[in-house]
Each structure stands twice: as C-alpha cells, then as structure tokens.
C-alpha cells in the first residue's frame, strides 16, 4: 500500500482530481487542463515523481503475477515482448518460473528504460521507444498488461495495429485487463475507471471490459482466434470477446479469467503492495498465418 499512497500524493494525481469536473463535463483528461501537458509527458519531465509512479505500478502488478502465471501456459514461448511493461516485473517472473528457456524484451519509454537498466540479463533485453511512433520488437508472444485501459478507442486501436505490424505469423497477443463487475457495489476497477477518465481520458469502461458487454477487437481480420493454452492449475472459462467496439470485421478470443482468490497478496494487502480485490481477464489472440 505504501507505493500507492505515495503515488496518490503526487501533484499530477492530487491536483488533477481536484479538477475532475472538467473531465465529467468534457470527457477530456483534467491533467492536461491543470498542467498543460499529458500525464506521461508530465512524468517523463519529472524523474523523481516518475520513479514513485513506477514503483506503485510494480507493486500493483506483483500482486497479480501469481494468478497470471497460473492462467496461461508460457512454456512454448520463445521470445516474449512486454509492451509498456514498466520495469519488467511480469516478464521477469514469466522468464524465471513459467518459460525458463524463453527470451524476453521489455518495450518502454526511454526514461522508464533508463531507470530499469539494471534488470537486463542474458535472456532479458530492454528496448526504448514509443508504441505510437516506433516499431515494436519481433516476438512470438506479446503482453499488454493494463495498457489498453489507459487510452481512448482510437489510441487503443493504434497500439493493437502496431503489435500486428510487428508480429510474425503465428504470434500470440495476451491482453490482460481488470474486469469491471456488473453489480452496483464498490469495486477497485470502478475507482480505476474514474482515475483513467480524469488522468488520461482512457477507460476501464463498460464498452471495453465488463463481463456483460460483447466488445470486439478491430485488427482488420489480420489475426485469428486461437485456443488459450491453460496451465495445469488453471480452469477454462467461457469464451469472451476482445476490447474494442467496431463495425469492421471482428475477432473473438478465448479467455481465461483469474479469480480474486488467485491474488492472496492483493486480498490481504501483503508484501507486494496489494490490498485491492481484482479479477483479470487474459485474452489470447493469434496472428494469422
């Protein structure tokens, strides 16, 4: 919880939340109205605050890693790209425990890569870039963990197109996102939805990540549905669709959902900085041959 408490005290959070009315009235991020620049641009220009933010993201992800590793069989992967992967917390765990023969590439913004430079080793390399401008690495599996919810539909589609452009035939894309429950009660994902609207104008919104909705992925039919290989400890759940509404040809992707019980440190507020109940959906999509 400490990294999250420090993050919420940063000016980009505290002062932006005070201007939330701007986002509610316009649908635009209040961060730009208050600071005159985008959220990630703000952090890039303020390294100390960026380090606080990255530490909070790593703590949150650590609480989810066990559930993700038990939900997907990574053993057949040879090169895994973690796109927008921060300090590589998820990818490092995959390489250590779930894919001991695979190589990994963390693709992140230059200032994040500079801060994370110490994590690189023989099987893990770091690549600096911007997924809106720079080519992504060629991999046979791609991870997007809680990246898509940061962005509006147009930017989300651009990220997915970048993955498809870099992906060789037969590559897999794993989209890992928090699910917004259907009920009216309190839930961390709903607070996250408000944060995304205010800070980034992205959304964990019903059109993207609720259980009830049937959103779709627009990849111009360049990817195909593939079975998501479950690990021995995981349980196959009914298929779900992707994340983006569109009128174009669509793709359905089998999914595995990790239940809250898969995240003990998140339930109990354990050593990894958790404390928030969560349910993640891991969607597997395959690039067409």
CA distances (Å), origin 254, targets 124, 155, 156, 207:
28, 24, 20, 18
80 strand-pairing partners: 104, 141
Residues in the chain: 289
List for the chain the helix, strand, coil content (%; round to 5): 40, 20, 40
Chain position carrying tokens 């995981």: 234
Instruction: DSSP letter for 137, please.
Output: P
Active-site residue among 149, 187, 195, 272?
149
Note if 89 is an active site residue: no
Is residue 171 within 8 A of residue 144, CB to CB? The reply is no
Question: Phi, psi at residue 144, to the nearest 5°?
Answer: -130, 95
Q: Write down the H helix ranges in the chain.
A: 2-8, 11-17, 20-26, 30-35, 39-44, 47-69, 89-93, 110-115, 153-166, 188-199, 206-209, 264-268
CB-side neighbour CA atoms (13 Å) of 54: 23
Q: Which residues are catalytic?
A: 149
């Amino acid at each position: 919880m400490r990294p999250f408490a420090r993050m919420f005290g940063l000016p980009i959070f505290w002062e932006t939340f005070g201007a939330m009315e701007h986002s509610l009235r316009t649908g635009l991020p209040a961060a730009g109205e208050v600071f005159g620049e985008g959220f990630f641009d703000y952090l890039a220009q303020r390294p100390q605050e960026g380090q606080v933010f990255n530490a909070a993201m790593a703590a949150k992800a650590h609480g989810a890693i066990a559930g993700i590793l038990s939900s997907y069989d990574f053993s057949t992967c040879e090169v895994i790209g973690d796109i927008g992967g921060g300090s590589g917390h998820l990818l490092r765990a995959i390489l250590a425990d779930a894919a001991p023969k695979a190589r990994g590439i963390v693709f992140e913004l230059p200032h994040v890569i500079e801060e994370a430079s110490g994590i690189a080793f023989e099987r893990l390399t770091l690549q600096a870039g911007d997924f809106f401008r720079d080519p992504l690495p060629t991999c046979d599996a791609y991870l997007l963990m809680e990246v898509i919810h940061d962005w509006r539909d147009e930017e989300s589609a651009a990220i997915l197109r970048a993955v498809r452009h870099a992906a060789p035939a037969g590559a897999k894309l794993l989209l890992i996102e928090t699910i917004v429950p259907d009920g009216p009660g309190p839930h961390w994902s709903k607070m996250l939805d408000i944060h995304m609207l205010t800070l980034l104008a992205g959304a964990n919104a019903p059109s993207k990540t609720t259980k009830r909705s049937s959103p779709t992925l627009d990849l111009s039919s360049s990817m195909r549905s593939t079975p998501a290989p479950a690990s021995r400890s995981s349980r196959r759940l009914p298929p779900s669709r992707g994340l983006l509404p569109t009128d174009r040809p669509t793709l359905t992707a089998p999914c595995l959902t990790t239940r809250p019980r898969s995240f003990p440190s998140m339930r109990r507020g354990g050593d990894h900085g958790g404390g928030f109940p969560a349910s993640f959906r891991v969607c597997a999509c395959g690039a067409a041959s």
